[in-house]
Amino acid sequence: MSITLRGQDYEVTFLGIPVVRVHIQQIPGDDPRLVTYEYTARTKPFFSAIYKVNNRYRVTMDTSMSRIVSYEKEISQKNLQQSFHTLYKPGKTIYSTGEERSTETDRHTMLSLLLAMTRESTPREFSTPVEMEGVYYSARMIPREKSSNILEWKILLLPDGGFPVLASTDLFTSHLADPESQRSIRVDISAGRIVSASFTLSPYTLTARILGDS
């Protein structure tokens, strides 16, 4: 996978205006059986005056990217300062709120799923379980287009039980599973990296596009 210790930068546009810079990179770890990736999201200086965001998310998975081990986030955005983490143990999920829940299956978070899709080179329709801060979904992955080395996926999130463990959450997480929203991701299957991701909640669209190797 080409998102290495150096990382990869993306620019998020809203109404055609660059508003957020996202950086994804691999974080060194002591366990060779695991990989950790960090997402950082920071608003551009002019947009920070309207809605400042300086958020960090980390996901740790096994090297096959089929099983998540932990998820954590540090949120600093308008009206919200938040620290939260989740441990995924066999048969249970442990939240930093002190709550534990029994689980019957391994689940991705949305961020770990995006990374795992860089390993999918065959345009096949499939479903995978997803957990987002206590709420469960079935993510339906639908291939939409394959041209050259680029494979595009539509992502449907179907409710599958659970309930939130947090009274409030960050802007990204709060709208991600909105039933009226549309999500897609484009992957360069030859390089094993995310090229772009798009989120639409009518009438607005946010699009993150790769800026090249950083």
According to DSSP, residue 5 is labeled S
- Which SS3 state, helix, strand or coil, does residue 114 take? helix
How far is it, in rounded angstroms, from Cα 74 to Cα 55? 6
According to DSSP, residue 118 is labeled G
Note the pLDDT tens digit of each residue in 83-130.
Answer: 999 999 999 999 999 999 998 788 999 999 999 999 998 999 999 999
- The answer to whether 194 and 186 have CB atoms below 8 angstroms apart is yes
Note the pLDDT tens digit of each residue in 153-174.
Answer: 999 999 999 999 999 999 999 9
Q: Classify residue 120 as exposed, middle or buried by CB count within 10 Å of its CB (0-12, 13-18, 19+).
A: middle
* 212 pLDDT more than 90: no
DSSP H or E run through 206: strand 204-213
